[in-house]
A and B are shown apart, each in its own frame.
Chain A
Amino acid sequence: MNESFLESARPGGAGRAQKETLAQLNGVSSDAKEPGVTRRSLGEPTEGLSGKGHLNEVEPLLSLRGIDKSFGPVQALAGVDLDIPLGQVTALVGDNGAGKSVLVKTISGIWEPDDGQIFWEGRPVHIRNPKEAAEMGITTVYQDLALCDNLDIVQNMFLGREPTRYRLLDETAMELAAKRTLAELSVVTVRSIRQAVASLSGGQRQAVAVGKAVMWNSKLVIFDEPTAALAVSSAAMVLELIRQLASRGLAVIVISHVLNEIFSVADRIAVLHLGHIAAVGPISEFDPQKVATLMATGTSSWSSHESDSPSDPREL
């Protein structure tokens, strides 16, 4: 089955034009859309992203199959299979060098995989550069946040996608949309959304980056160590933001080293070890000790994470 759709996908070249989708191959009609997920859209909808419904939750938003990536002699990713569902937070954990960053950069278009196939909403796709990823609805919140300190919150949230009227910046539309988005996130306590980002705290800056992702109707938001540089109170706020994104129906990937945080925020967990997926499954099937063991050794005698009847991890 895996083989057959990989074969059918490759001649497609651009991939997106491919008619035969993963959904059809799986026997799930692509018309099965989920009506419930409503997200606010900006006055000027981004083309191609809004207006579409969402595939049934059974169908993952993003599927990776057999992703390989090598840098010279170093194999960073070896046959990674991973599904990212909508409406859930998927935690990506692993030791240093396990391939977390490479995997995330492959998804966000910074590197193309050497081999393997990426399916987006059931269709095989090639994500060639960050811009294509952004057009598909993939947003990455980087550790350094990529904000311009000299610009204010509104200007940062719209950077690169400013709406215009008669070719001039439409400041009113921008400010209204930014204000609405930040109010919806309802954890943002800023003095004024017209203040320069330089004057914000770390948590507030992260909130601006998240607000940017929400406002642009992203479907998948990737957080790379979102709380690494934050004070405890700010970290709690950011975790709350991450939960909110998932409850809005977005797919979220979180890379983190802090297992406490992962167990408080994630729905699913995927453990990487030396470029392989060591384990993946609902968080309820894991506990911190087990995850730590998996991160360190890549194996555990408990191997029923894919079965429908999870056994008690404490038995081990």
Chain B
Amino acid sequence: MSGSSRTPGEFTREEVTSTTDRSAGSAPNTRASEVALAEGSELMVNSLGEYVQAWVKRIRNGDSGVLPVLGGLIAIVIIFQVQNSLFLSAGNLVNLLVQGAVFVLLGMAEVFVLLLGEIDLSVGYVAGVGAAITAILASPFGGSWPWWIAIAAGLASTVFIGTLQGVLITRLHLPSFVVTLAGLLGWEGVMLFLIDHASPSSGGLISISNNIIYDLVNGNLNQVAGWVVMVLVVALFAVSIVLRDHHRRSNGLAAPPPSLTAMKIAVAIAAGVALLLVCDANRGVSIPLRGVPWVVLIVLGFLGMWSFLLGRTRFGRYIYAIGGNAEAARRAGINLSRIRTTAFALAGLTAGIAGIIYESRLGSISDNIDGGTLVLYAVAAAVIGGTSLFGGRGKMIHAVLGGIVIAAIYNGLGLLGVSASTEYIVTALVLLAAVTVDSMTRRGRATTSAR
């Protein structure tokens, strides 16, 4: 009876309900076929060609991933190799990896907080404090403690610093920029105090007297062990992706075509063999020097561990969620303070490892470490690699690629005998290019979603 008062053109209950009934039934209808179509377009791709098409579509939509940084790296390598053929020599490549390790690890520390949409400006001097404590405890002045106690104490201190900064940021709702800017100043003071008091006679320099800490960078795996580790790592990778694809397929979900999986494994094998061949070539000047430096394994180990943490655990998922939409994460019942504080603590831990690697490479720690420049390189490494400054997008592998790009610039310009001024300018241009890509990607996504 109220129906008679309706104006034409409005939805009637009958229309809505009847559509519902039709789609609920099993009879073929337009709705059901639309769903089938939708699932068929990307979920059920089986051939390599379709997969490549879907991939190209994603890139067009602004999800370019690591492509820009890989392209940039190849361009940089070509430029330097043309200028100086020593650039791609085995000795220089290993040197480049070792130089890059500190940037990579600091970049990884930065990724944890950048994903949240925060920033940590203190990682450089936090690394310095961790390195100083480790060096002092391992030195005769500090009691010549065993290497593992010295390293554990150094890392414990950086985790504590990270947690402290995280608590200040989350509990007092202070901006991370300001808290870690205070850290940048304050922890430099702490580091200077520690080093100057522990080295009264040597003028602010503590040598690394512990062989194991020294060998973290300067020692090499012997050749047999290197190959064994490489085979194990590649086999683990291959087995895990084959098992994952099998698991998805047996549950009726879309999985990458076997040919693509085979290609991935082939690339992993090629990369592993190339790394081993480069590292096993004699790079000694007077005495033979071969093998994979320990630091390469350490970086790869943390890459694997942190990627796993971000990609496969609830903690990692929540970091991305907070970076994407903190309010949505809060409504989903996620404890924002705990996740944020933990991320800052992990940034501290990773910075501490970077500090220990840094002092191992130098063979000493001194009070003129420039933590301010280091932190800028750390942010640059993460952003050049493809991590978004706006939060929510990025991976650990980005820090690795970005760190290698920075090391390549640093190393290549050094080979060319270019001045430090040029080096800074070139790094700045690369960083600007990376941020531009990040920003354009964001805009690309925004227009895509607005369609």
> Interface stretch among B208-216, B316-324, B353-361?
B316-324
CB distance from A240 to the nearest CB of B (A): 6
> Which partner residue on chain A sits nearest B17 by CB separation?
A243
CB distance from B236 to the nearest CB of A (A): 16
Of the candidates B16, B247, B314, B334, which one forms a contact with A265 in the assembled complex, judged by CB atoms under 8 Å apart?
Answer: B16
8 Å CB interface, A17-38 against B: none
Is B329 in contact with A159, judged by CB distance below 8 angstroms? yes
Is B5 in contact with A150, judged by CB distance below 8 angstroms? no
Query: Does any Cβ of A come within 8 Å of B173's Cβ?
Result: no
Is B38 in contact with A159, judged by CB distance below 8 angstroms? no
CB distance from A172 to the nearest CB of B (A): 5
Q: A159-B321, A286-B2, A312-B1 are in contact. Are A200 and B449 (CB under 8 A)?
A: yes
B254 proximity list for chain A (CB < 8 A): 192
- Complex Cα–Cα for A284 and B2 (A): 6
Is B448 in contact with A198, judged by CB distance below 8 angstroms? yes
Is B35 in contact with A188, judged by CB distance below 8 angstroms? yes
Query: Does any Cβ of B come within 8 Å of A75's Cβ?
Result: no
CB distance from A159 to the nearest CB of B (A): 4
Q: Interface digits, B1-42 against A, CB 8 Å rule (1 contact, 0 not)?
A: 110011000111101110110011000000110110110011
Is B449 in contact with A148, judged by CB distance below 8 angstroms? no
Is B35 in contact with A148, judged by CB distance below 8 angstroms? no
A96 proximity list for chain B (CB < 8 A): none
- Complex Cα–Cα for A160 and B61 (A): 28
Interface centre among B32, B251, B333 (most CB of A within 10 A): B333
Query: Does any Cβ of B come within 8 Å of A81's Cβ?
Result: no
- Complex Cα–Cα for A37 and B267 (A): 53
8 Å CB interface, A275-316 against B: 283-289, 312-314
CB distance from A302 to the nearest CB of B (A): 13
- Complex Cα–Cα for A162 and B317 (A): 9
8 Å CB interface, A111-152 against B: 130-131, 134, 142, 144, 146-151
A263 proximity list for chain B (CB < 8 A): 2, 6, 10, 13
Query: Does any Cβ of B come within 8 Å of A244's Cβ?
Result: yes
A240 proximity list for chain B (CB < 8 A): 16, 19-20
Of the candidates A200, A264, A283, which one forms a contact with B16 in the assembled complex, judged by CB atoms under 8 Å apart?
Answer: A264
Q: A188-B35, A240-B16 are in contact. Are A159 and B449 (CB under 8 A)?
A: no
Is B13 in contact with A264, judged by CB distance below 8 angstroms? yes
> Which partner residue on chain A sits nearest B331 by CB separation?
A146
Is B31 in contact with A151, judged by CB distance below 8 angstroms? no
Of the candidates B20, B32, B63, B448, which one forms a contact with A243 in the assembled complex, judged by CB atoms under 8 Å apart?
Answer: B20
- Complex Cα–Cα for A285 and B1 (A): 9
CB distance from A109 to the nearest CB of B (A): 11
A236 proximity list for chain B (CB < 8 A): 11, 16
Is B333 in contact with A131, judged by CB distance below 8 angstroms? yes
Is A168 in contact with B313, judged by CB distance below 8 angstroms? yes
8 Å CB interface, A221-272 against B: 236, 239-240, 243-244, 247, 260-261, 263-265
Chain A interface residue count, CB cutoff 8 Å, equals 62
Chain B interface residue count, CB cutoff 8 Å, equals 55
Of the candidates B17, B43, B317, which one forms a contact with A169 in the assembled complex, judged by CB atoms under 8 Å apart?
Answer: B317
> Which partner residue on chain A sits nearest B12 by CB separation?
A264
Query: Does any Cβ of B come within 8 Å of A95's Cβ?
Result: no
Q: A148-B325, A190-B38, A193-B43 are in contact. Are A168 and B312 (CB under 8 A)?
A: yes
> Which partner residue on chain A sits nearest B14 by CB separation?
A264
Interface centre among B13, B61, B254 (most CB of A within 10 A): B13
Query: Does any Cβ of B come within 8 Å of A189's Cβ?
Result: yes
A149 proximity list for chain B (CB < 8 A): 324-325, 392, 449
A195 proximity list for chain B (CB < 8 A): 42
8 Å CB interface, B136-154 against A: none
- Complex Cα–Cα for A244 and B19 (A): 10
A162 proximity list for chain B (CB < 8 A): 314, 317
Q: A159-B328, A186-B31 are in contact. Are A239 and B312 (CB under 8 A)?
A: no
Known pairs A149-B449, A312-B1; list 18 more (Cβ under 8 Å): A142-B331, A150-B323, A150-B392, A159-B317, A160-B333, A164-B314, A168-B312, A172-B253, A191-B41, A192-B43, A244-B20, A260-B11, A263-B6, A264-B10, A264-B16, A265-B13, A284-B2, A285-B2
Binding site for A on B (CB under 8 A): 1-2, 5-6, 10-13, 15-17, 19-20, 23-24, 31-32, 34-35, 37-38, 41-43, 61, 63, 247-248, 251-254, 312-314, 317, 320-321, 323-325, 327-329, 331-334, 392-393, 445-446, 448-449, 451
Nearest 9 A/B pairs, CB to CB: A160-B332, A264-B11, A148-B324, A150-B324, A150-B392, A260-B10, A146-B328, A192-B42, A159-B332
Selected A-B contacts with CB under 8 Å, 16 pairs? A146-B325, A146-B328, A149-B392, A151-B320, A161-B333, A162-B317, A167-B313, A169-B317, A179-B253, A186-B31, A187-B23, A188-B38, A195-B42, A264-B11, A264-B15, A265-B13
